[in-house]
Chains A and B, each alone.
Chain A
Amino acid sequence: MLWLTFILIGLATTLPRASFIVLGSRVSLPPVVQRALRYAPAAALAAIVAPDVLVVAGDFTPLNPKLAGIIAAVAAALLWRNPWLPFVAGMAVLLGLRALAGG
């Protein structure tokens, strides 16, 4: 079942990637659709991450170590180009706050 899931997710990746490369110049998307689709990744990323960092045990909890970690990671991504720093900063803040809370 898990492997079937991987194959389906793989198809859901390869088909969009190959779509127009395979079709060539025979078909093209209406410009309105192209413009609307540009927002899909940003909306999807936020919709996946937000509940993970703002909801603790089913309740909306804006102040929690995960959100602090995310803020640190975003700050690192905005301030420096180093691709490792957001991970270091985010994990350090999350684990540091948990240690302080005695968790």
Chain B
Amino acid sequence: MFDSSFRLGAREGFLSFLPLSIGLIPWAMVTGMAMISTGLTPLQAMGMNVIVFAGTAQLGTLPLIAAGAPVWLMVVTALALNLRFVIFSAAIAEGFRGVGAPMRWYCGHLLTDGVFANCMEKMLKVDDTRWRLGYFLAPSLWSWLLWQVFALVGVLAAGSIPKNWSLEFMASIALLVLLVPMAKQRPMLVAAAVGGVTAVVLRGMPLRLGLIVGIVAGICAGFAAEHWHGRKEAS
């Protein structure tokens, strides 16, 4: 299992990802605190953290859990927030050539934005299957560990902070900070603006359906903006 080319790959993957991984720490802590301020017990919060292992999906579904929204709506919301992974997964899939199915499932479960961005290029280039597996697994397991440890720190810290400090606001900040780099592209900004405005306008719809309509409207608007933008540049 841990032959020398696996270890060489693991070493290189870990070292290249280490500086980037520090950014996970505030995220994990904020997610931990947000889960507690939503009303989860520490056990439920850490259970969610281990089972879901995805900051965006966790932070995005917490307001729905707090509002008592139906389960299917939470699942649809999580799917919408996770659709980017379908694209990442398709982009990095070639990097797992020669790897068996159970390990592919496990690697898929561990796939995160940071590791994808950090590892994709070499995963596609390098020939040695063992090296590639080490190169992907080491930073992924490191992310997993950081995520669990610092979410636990957040969970434990949240209890000692007064409720009127509105710590759940940190979840809103966290979601928006994720949005900022995306919105630097014009069509993404259009998708976000239309999604946000639609959700506000339709806030009165039952079952928080305005959220789903907002997401769909945002996707359509972004796609339309991309076409319009592209045509303008071509002319």
Interface residues of A, Cβ cutoff 8 Å to B = 1-10, 12-14, 16-25, 28-29, 34-55, 58, 60, 66, 69-70, 73-74, 77-78, 83-84, 86-87, 90-91, 94-95
A101–B190 Cα distance when bound, in Å, is 34
* Secondary structure call for the A interface: helix
Whose C-beta in chain A lies nearest to the C-beta of B225?
A: A39
Please give me the 9 A-B residue pairs with the lowest Cβ-Cβ distance, nearest first.
Answer: A43-B218, A18-B108, A39-B222, A50-B196, A43-B195, A47-B214, A46-B196, A46-B192, A47-B199
B interface vs A, CB < 8 Å?
Answer: 22-23, 25-27, 30, 40, 44, 47-48, 51-54, 56-58, 60-61, 63, 65, 71, 74-75, 77-90, 92-94, 96-97, 101, 104-105, 107-111, 165-166, 169-170, 172-180, 182-183, 187-189, 191-200, 203, 210-211, 214-219, 221-223, 226
B56 near A41: Cβ-Cβ < 8 Å: yes
Cross-interface CB contact of B83 among A3, A16, A94, cutoff 8 Å: A16
User: Which of A19, A25, A43, A69 is within 8 Å of B86, CB to CB?
Assistant: A19
Query: Do A10 and B51 touch (CB < 8 A)?
Result: yes
For this complex, 18 residue pairs linking A to B, each with C-beta atoms less than 8 Å apart, are: A5-B74, A6-B47, A13-B52, A18-B105, A18-B109, A19-B86, A21-B96, A39-B187, A39-B221, A41-B81, A44-B215, A46-B193, A46-B214, A49-B172, A49-B179, A86-B176, A87-B26, A90-B170
Give A77 to B164 CA distance when docked, in angstroms.
25
**A9 and B199 alpha carbons, distance in the complex (Å):** 21
